[in-house]
Structure 1
Amino acid sequence: MKTGIRDITGFSLVIVMVFVAMLSSLAIVAVKMGALTAISMYNAGEGKQAYYIAEAGFQHALFRLNLNPGWTGELLDQQFEGGTYSINVSQADPIDDLTITAVGSYNGTEHSIIRVIPVPIKVFIIIPFAGTGVPGRTGDNGPAIDATLRKPRGLHKNAAGDVYIADTGNHYIRYVDAVNKKIYRFAGRPGQSGYSCCNPINSRFDRPEGIFIDQGGNVFIADRNNQLIREVIFGGNVVDVAGQLDNAGFSGDGNPATNAQLWNPREAIVDQNGNIYLADTNNCRIRKIDGATGIINTFAGGACGSANGPVANARFNRPRGLAFDAAGNIYVADTNNHRIRKIDMTTMTVSTIAGSIAGYSGDEGLAVNAKLDTPYGVAVNQFGTIYIADTNNNRIRKIDSTTGNITTHAGSNTAGNLGDNGPAIDAQLNKPNKVIAFDDVDGHIIIADTDNNRVREVTDVY
């Protein structure tokens, strides 16, 4: 990119100075006003994306790009994290070179004018979705944001976008209608723990956690304290699909799943063939129920521990969360190992994709080198992006599908309940247990903010 010296005197000099000042102001307000505060806080507070500060004056102009300290080269249409920036230089002759470095030094003609035209940076804000934050069990048939919840732990969505919530502390399942945003009772009796079937509304659960909705609209529930996996058949009754009521333990491989023992199952997911994979948490195993025969077997894991390799030799420690990617591979929130593991369904091997020892570190680097603390949930969207409920760090972490790098997508270093309608990375969460990812926008998620007795949504603005 070239600029040159241009003689500017008298009236022309005044015009240039005014024009420069105008451009300085315009550069700051180039983004959509509705997101300006969020974007400013997002960039200044955490520095997670490239951003610009354009300063123009009579003696100098400056273009500064943070988080790209090693960048060199031409700035024209250069791709940076967060957007594409077109740099135009006006009032210039192709004589002298113009150099603008990442650390902010400027070398060029004294009357050169820099104009920055950014593609707006996408920023994610956090907004209320369900629950007021006050523990309770009120609000069914009304706006979800006015309802009260108690320790929600499970989330899933159906094909219509309705979000189902395991209102764990209230022992029942609720859902939020995608259109009217009202919350409704789906299954179970509010505040009444126990066991009963068969009509969904009259059934009872005991601290239900994981929820999964298959392609037929059937809802699978990990009924933790009843030691069961249960199914609400689409348009029908509640049936048991695995486990023995109130009989925790390990037994039953090679037999009908309804005769097997489970121990605090936390989640069950269903593939396109009707096979059910469940996190048999206290048995440290992932078990599989054959969709055709109903026979249960250990699919991965064994004695509690930590090991990668073939599924039969792999070891987990209190796995809680499960998720499929688009290829059908299974991701496991290996909670007490502080890791996210991947079961490759082609090679039938287990590998670690994120986490090491308990802690918090590693943002902007490879996820496998990062530290997590007791992750409860995991989700994958159609873009291959992985979201982690990093529970004891009070954050949602994000793994980029291309680079394998990890960042914080929501939550900060303090447990709390603040931050609604502001940048997601500045918000406070409190022991988030579950996250689900939408496929419309990479970054659109919903969080079970468990100890805040709320469900919250992270969505994009510009």
Structure 2
Amino acid sequence: MGTLRHGYHRYAHEENDIPSCDLIAALPGLFPRQGIQRQSLGHTCHQLGFTTRLYLEGLIRGDEAYCYEKCQEGILHMGNGENVFISQQPPVIGSVMGNGRRRSISCPSCNGLADGNKLLAPVALACGSDGSLYVGDFNYVRRIFTTGNVTSVLELRNKDFRHSNSPAHKYYLATSPVNGAVYLSDTSSRKVFKVKSLNVVKDVAKNLELVAGTGDQCLPYDDTRCGDGGKAVEATLTNPRGITVDKYGVIFFVDGTMIRRIDQNGIISTLLGFNDLTSARPLSCDAVMDISQVRLEWPTDLAVSPMDNSLYVLDNNVVLQISENHQVRIVAGRPMHCQVPGIDHFLMSKVAIHATLESANALTVSHNGILYIAESDEKKINRVRQVSTNGEISLVAGAPSGCDCKNDANCDCYSGDEGYAKDAKLNAPSSLAVCPDGELYVADLGNIRIRYVRKNKPYLNPLSMYEVSSPINDELYLFDSNGSHIFTQSLTTGDHLYNLTYTGAGDLSSITDKNKNTVIIRRDTTGMPLWLMVPDGQTFWFTIGTNNALKTVAAQGQELAVMTYHGSSGLLATKTNENGWTTFFEYDSYGRLTNITYPTGRVSSYRTDADSSVRIQTEGSNKEDITVTTNLSASGTFYTLMQDQVRNSYFIGLDGSLRLVLANGMEVSLHTEPHLLAGTVNPTVSKRNVTLAIDNGLNLVEWRQRKEQARGQVTVYGRRLRVHNRNLLSLDFDRITRTEKVYDDHRKFTLRIHYDHAGRPTLWAPSSRLNGVNVTYSSGGHVAGIQRGTMSVRMEYDQNGRITSQIFADGKSWSYTYLEKSMVLLLYSQRQYIFEFDKNDRLSSVTMPNVARQTLETSRSIGYYRNTYRPPEGNASVLQDYSEDGQLLQTTYLGTGRRVIYKYGKLAKLLEILYDTTRIGFSYDEVAGMLKTVNLQSEGFTCTIRY
């Protein structure tokens, strides 16, 4: 979990600083995070393993620090202010019934547990208001209860299919939101039925009653209009197919090219269409139509939206929405006669009414208004897509197949259970249903399974704890049932890394690492933090304002950071670091940032325009203008960055996937998949594709995962690195023996690494004759010794974790002595080095064994920061000036009077280097931003390199 650094600069001489880390003290959304470096805190961070990750945001807010989870909402609050919306991760897929093998026609084992229960041909689905799923499994309608049990509620007997496995007998199911009744629209018998009893069924073959249809076919131009205006049971039907029920209990069903309705009194009428031979009328491409203007071509399925009671009709790869006031519009698909408008950029999200549906055969609508459409040509396209309430279409389930699922016997068209639905393979999805809890069910006809697609969320493990991981940090976070972060474990090894404890009020009170180092937090009576004590005993004090915003952080009587705010708004006005350097922030009336004034006087201005997208324009006093355009979609966020004439486009998916298109034509894509040890909650990057502008081929790099289990526990976790489909490297970690083995591209063993019970490497043993490396650790977790063959070194530390001596194999030693603002290094030869530090614990001078003293200093001026190095000879100082962005502006050698000047142009690219009588110039392509020429001129000599 990285930090966001604003306005903080690492200067050249800081590379010589002692180990340090950032203490991030911030309120979410209130002010940028300020880095503060302290010597003892640096040691503490290394002891705790945080490195640059000790966060106080949770302390100030009163939430749990580091991580906190709202389990029910699927939201993870990280201690650095980041929010991870787990429920927005890709939905997961699994099977609720079916195992890929067909049952017999008589179905002797139809009742029992649904999981793994065989199916014959699942052709219809419907979900009841109680969460029960009704499955039309060829000659049986079966009910799956929320408990996981299944029972048959209806048997359909027909001499034409008693000895057939063909799903030619097509029918549709629907449930009533009013009374939970189940209706069946039977195409072959030209009737609509209702299931009599859904609980106690005496005879499944007789458990139905007629709702509509006499069985006779309604002929064109029938004088009685096929029974319209009379009782539905006395009406004649043409070809009944899709059926649905609205919130009033009115039944709608497809009948030939018409949509017919049955009211609460059993009276039938026609909502749309006519019983004649009139051909279909072309639909309006974009305008709203009155229902009287619409003639359907071949409608198949229906659904009612629980949100607005509108009716959705699937007709020949176009989905129509019919409102309650009988207005009709296209919501998905594009009629053949309609042109598709040009798309601004291929990375942009797809508009459903501009998309082409491929062999769409089923639809359903969720309780929050999301439309799901099943498409299947039974060959390579077998998928389910969704249309959001804002009209965007995106894939939900069903990755494209590389082979023909229908005609190729060797084509594997089933995969993906317990993984992401978008990566799973379907085979001829025939029906869809959404339950009130938002769970989507797919009748996967070709795979003989009922698949579920549900939101991503963490579940309680056997210890009644929620598990959420961070694969990028190789960490697993464990939360109690209240959502409090209790432990952090290593994802690979399973070892405990941190233990968090809380006060009775639920506020974080301490964090202990695997080496028993502890950070202690003390709070006042209201729960606000007063101070934080690190393992070496140093204390950091906090001052909290009346609006619960952090005002100061201090240690040893010195203020390390000071923040002020604009009134009671909570918006950061100024922040001052330990040097006394201040950054100013200004906002508009909406609280949006408009200006930042940096300590050097540089000003950055921001302008925001919000229409269909969010556009932020940045104007700097250095004339660097940047425009960032943001578009949100159901699957992620699109960014376009314009600087000068150079345009780069990015798409960042909710699952962490990335697609990048650079101005020079290069494309980079990162694909994610569930981590085998972490599950689907947090994806990990598994593949990287790079496509160059001059090369249409893909450059593929991927990690493949595997695991071994024993008694339900992971024993081995393996990873294999592949480049262009060729193995390069394999890593296997054995949790039982606590060893990691490294193999080459031919699976030949090359290296074994052994870890102790704290997860620390203790031995590197190569397969060759090379000497291994042994490492030991102190009680505080520091490296206490390193040995390789005859070479060795031992380290000793004081109680504050600072190194005090190094002892080498030949008996020679180095000793370290610490004073208030200095450190003395004494070598075995008695040569002595003295390192002195300023008030902010940054290196300020080094005294050599010959007593020569070299000093380092950083100062601030208008438009730049200056690093000054003074050698023992005071007249030979070296000055280096840096911009606010860290660009080197010039280097001056006072002893000789020489200077090297660096000039930058647009896109912060280097334009010129000037020194003595020499000039080096650089030019770049205006569109791609790539380097074009390098030109060197010196005293009449000219050299040019062109790219």
Tell me the equivalent position of 1:445: 440
Tell me the equivalent position of 2:98: 131
> What is the CA deviation profile of residues 253-275 of structure 1, one whole-angstrom value per residue up to 9, with x for unaligned ones?
33332233323312222234332
Give yes or no for contact 1:383–1:439 (8 Å, CA) kept in 2: no
Q: Distance in 2 between matches of 1:176 and 1:297?
A: 33
- Higher-helix-fraction structure: 1
Tell me the equivalent position of 1:345: 324
Give yes or no for contact 2:128–2:435 (8 Å, CA) kept in 1: no
Secondary structure class of the residue paired with 1:132: coil
Tell me the equivalent position of 1:386: 371
> What is the CA deviation profile of residues 198-238 of structure 1, one whole-angstrom value per residue up to 9, with x for unaligned ones?
xxxxxxx9935211121213211012211110112346852
Going from structure 1 to structure 2, the CA distance change for 1:128 and 1:304 (only over 3 Å counts) comes to farther
Tell me the equivalent position of 2:302: 322
Going from structure 1 to structure 2, the CA distance change for 1:77 and 1:91 (only over 3 Å counts) comes to closer
The amino acid across from 1:117 in the alignment is E
Going from structure 1 to structure 2, the CA distance change for 1:147 and 1:340 (only over 3 Å counts) comes to same
The amino acid across from 2:117 in the alignment is A
Going from structure 1 to structure 2, the CA distance change for 1:457 and 1:288 (only over 3 Å counts) comes to same
Going from structure 1 to structure 2, the CA distance change for 1:296 and 1:234 (only over 3 Å counts) comes to same
- Equivalent of 2:146, from 155, 178, 185? 178
The amino acid across from 2:333 in the alignment is G
Q: Distance in 1 between matches of 2:209 and 2:242?
A: 16
Secondary structure class of the residue paired with 2:374: strand
Q: Which runs of 4+ in 1 moved over 6 A?
A: 111-116
The amino acid across from 1:387 in the alignment is Y
Return 387-396 or 320-329, whichever deviates more: 387-396
The amino acid across from 2:398 in the alignment is G
Structure with bigger gyration radius: 2
- Equivalent of 2:454, from 448, 454, 459? 459
Give yes or no for contact 2:383–2:398 (8 Å, CA) kept in 1: yes
Secondary structure class of the residue paired with 2:455: strand
TM-score (norm 1): 0.69
Secondary structure class of the residue paired with 1:210: strand
Deviation at 1:10, TM superposition (A): 6.9
Greater relative contact order structure (CA < 8 Å, 6+ sep): 1
Deviation at 1:90, TM superposition (A): 4.9
Give yes or no for contact 1:224–1:264 (8 Å, CA) kept in 2: yes
> What is the CA deviation profile of residues 263-297 of structure 1, one whole-angstrom value per residue up to 9, with x for unaligned ones?
331222223433221111xx2111112322x3322
- Equivalent of 2:212, from 242, 253, 258? 242
Deviation at 1:120, TM superposition (A): 4.1
Tell me the equivalent position of 2:84: 119
Secondary structure class of the residue paired with 1:123: coil
Matches within 5 A, 1:246-265: 247=217, 249=219, 251-265=226-240
Deviation at 1:368, TM superposition (A): 0.4
Q: Distance in 1 between matches of 2:31 and 2:253?
A: 53
For the pair 1:286 / 2:292, whether they are aligned, the reply is: no
Q: Report the identity percentage.
A: 26
Q: Distance in 1 between matches of 2:360 and 2:314?
A: 6
Aligned residues: 358
Deviation at 1:375, TM superposition (A): 1.7
Tell me the equivalent position of 1:158: 128
Q: Distance in 2 between matches of 1:148 and 1:304?
A: 43
> What is the CA deviation profile of residues 48-73 of structure 1, one whole-angstrom value per residue up to 9, with x for unaligned ones?
xxxxxxxxxxxxxxxxxxxxxxxxxx
- Higher-strand-fraction structure: 2
Give yes or no for contact 2:215–2:237 (8 Å, CA) kept in 1: no
Going from structure 1 to structure 2, the CA distance change for 1:459 and 1:409 (only over 3 Å counts) comes to same
Secondary structure class of the residue paired with 2:115: helix
Give yes or no for contact 2:431–2:443 (8 Å, CA) kept in 1: yes
Deviation at 1:398, TM superposition (A): 0.8
For the pair 1:374 / 2:350, whether they are aligned, the reply is: no
Q: Distance in 1 between matches of 2:81 and 2:17?
A: 22
Tell me the equivalent position of 2:181: 218
Structure 1: which 5+ residue stretches go unaligned?
24-75, 79-85, 94-110, 196-204
Deviation at 1:11, TM superposition (A): 7.5
Cα RMSD between the aligned structures?
A: 3.5
Going from structure 1 to structure 2, the CA distance change for 1:124 and 1:10 (only over 3 Å counts) comes to same
- Equivalent of 1:91, from 35, 45, 58? 35
The amino acid across from 1:255 in the alignment is G
Tell me the equivalent position of 2:313: 332
Secondary structure class of the residue paired with 2:446: helix
Secondary structure class of the residue paired with 2:188: helix
Give yes or no for contact 2:92–2:455 (8 Å, CA) kept in 1: yes
Give yes or no for contact 1:285–1:300 (8 Å, CA) kept in 2: yes
Q: Distance in 2 between matches of 1:323 and 1:299?
A: 14
Going from structure 1 to structure 2, the CA distance change for 1:147 and 1:113 (only over 3 Å counts) comes to closer
- Equivalent of 1:400, from 388, 400, 413? 388
Give yes or no for contact 1:91–1:113 (8 Å, CA) kept in 2: no
Going from structure 1 to structure 2, the CA distance change for 1:343 and 1:13 (only over 3 Å counts) comes to farther
Deviation at 1:149, TM superposition (A): 1.5
For the pair 1:2 / 2:6, whether they are aligned, the reply is: yes
Q: Distance in 1 between matches of 2:118 and 2:359?
A: 26
Going from structure 1 to structure 2, the CA distance change for 1:13 and 1:142 (only over 3 Å counts) comes to farther
Deviation at 1:354, TM superposition (A): 0.4
The amino acid across from 2:144 in the alignment is V
Structure 2: which 5+ residue stretches go unaligned?
38-51, 56-79, 161-166, 202-206, 221-225, 337-342, 406-412, 457-680, 682-947
Secondary structure class of the residue paired with 2:415: coil
TM-score (norm 2): 0.35
Tell me the equivalent position of 1:35: none
Q: Distance in 2 between matches of 1:5 and 1:287?
A: 71
The amino acid across from 2:239 in the alignment is N
- Equivalent of 2:270, from 272, 293, 298? 298
Q: Distance in 2 between matches of 1:223 and 1:194?
A: 15
Deviation at 1:322, TM superposition (A): 1.1
Q: Distance in 2 between matches of 1:343 and 1:10?
A: 68
Deviation at 1:142, TM superposition (A): 2.2
For the pair 1:432 / 2:410, whether they are aligned, the reply is: no
Going from structure 1 to structure 2, the CA distance change for 1:387 and 1:172 (only over 3 Å counts) comes to same
The amino acid across from 1:344 in the alignment is S
Secondary structure class of the residue paired with 1:14: coil
Give yes or no for contact 2:415–2:425 (8 Å, CA) kept in 1: yes
Give yes or no for contact 1:231–1:239 (8 Å, CA) kept in 2: yes
Going from structure 1 to structure 2, the CA distance change for 1:127 and 1:112 (only over 3 Å counts) comes to closer
Going from structure 1 to structure 2, the CA distance change for 1:206 and 1:245 (only over 3 Å counts) comes to farther
Going from structure 1 to structure 2, the CA distance change for 1:185 and 1:246 (only over 3 Å counts) comes to farther
Give yes or no for contact 2:185–2:242 (8 Å, CA) kept in 1: yes
